[in-house]
Amino acid sequence: MKFKLSTKGFNDVIDITDKVREIVKNSKIEDGICLIFCPGSTCAITTIEFEGGAINDLKRILEKIAPMNKDYEHCKKWGDCNGYAHIRSALLKPSFCCPIENGDLVLGTWQQIIFIDFDNRPREREIIVKVVGM
């Protein structure tokens, strides 16, 4: 299954838990694995408590690790000046895998699946969800 997201770029964080959960439920798989993936090298899929403070903390730490306003070789070569976005994606990864038990995602009480678009412009993104039974 696939679904689309319209993002704002610039660290836009979107909670995709409900959409992924719906796909898992519709699959009728009771026990297995759910892989969530976005084709792209300037985005990530991970988990966090989707709450303003935690999201702001994540953005602040990412800015310290791979600041937007630094000089990146990628910008010198391609001119799109989103080298920081590629670094952030490489660190957090564009995919996430979650177990399925009793037909539902196995997530902690305060754990949501999020998509982050690090690119320096709005984007249309495709999210691919693969559900495999065990």
Q: What is the dihedral of CA 81, 86, 127, 31, to 10 degrees?
A: -170
Instruction: Give how far the C-alpha of residue 41 lies from the chain's centroid of Cα atoms, to the nearest Å.
Output: 11
pTM, 2 dp: 0.95
CATH of the domain at 42: 2.60.120.460
> What is the C-alpha separation between 96 and 107, in angstroms, rounded?
12
* pLDDT tens by residue, 118-129: 999 999 999 999
Domain of residue 18 covers 2-133
Q: How many domains does the chain have?
A: 1
Task: Give the phi and the psi of residue 47 in degrees, each rounded to 5.
Answer: -125, 150
Instruction: State the pLDDT at residue 86.
Output: 97
